[in-house]
Amino acid sequence: MSEQRRGERLDQPRAPRGLHLPRIDADSFGRWAEGIARGMGTANFLVYMTLVLAAWFLWNTLAPADLRFDPYTFTFLTLVLSLQASYAAPLILLAQNRQADRDRIALDEDRRRATMQKADTEYLAREIAALRIAMGDVATRDFLRSELARLAEELDEAAERRRKLERRQQGQENRRPAGGDPLDEPRDEFDGDYAHDGRQESPT
């Protein structure tokens, strides 16, 4: 009764009824099918199959009649080849399906990596753009060279003006008389004239 009530509960899965088939590991069977399909697609399989068929024909044609197990028309060989074809086709399809699944997984992985690389590339592009904007106000090597060259030119011009001024001052000093300041001489003449005028006006 308890088992019946437990089977009627909706929160528990129902036990499978009917014929219980053996469970087959799909991965192991798939690897086995791929191995067979890979072997059937080689040159060795074709060579060995040709040798077996040639031996089959020769034995059932040239051997004594009581030793022939598949006489002419080769009915048993036809049955064997039909069974081989009937099993080879599904095995090859199974191997192709597994290969298609692997290709789809690889394609999804490639798409995911491409998306990640695109995101990384966009991020790096934004970072490079930000660095360019930030470096816009930073003095570069060429800018420093140009500024230093301009400063050197200005210093050379200032030194040249200083040398000209010094030569001009030196020339003026060379033109001065040895008795003293030339500005004192007009002052003495003026004083002399003033004194002379005073002497003339004194008698009156």
Assigned token pair, 73: 């028309």
The answer, as to whether pTM is greater than 0.85, is no
Delimit the domains of the chain by residue range. Answer: 24-135
Geometric angle at alpha carbon 52, from 50 and 54, rounded to 5°: 65
Tell me: the pLDDT tens digits for 36-60? 888 888 899 999 999 999 999 999 9
In one letter, which amino acid is 186?
P
pLDDT of residue 4: 52
Tell me the chain's radius of gyration from C-alpha atoms: 58
Looking at the chain, the whole-number percentage of residues with pLDDT higher than 90 is 31
**pLDDT of 187 strictly over 70:** no
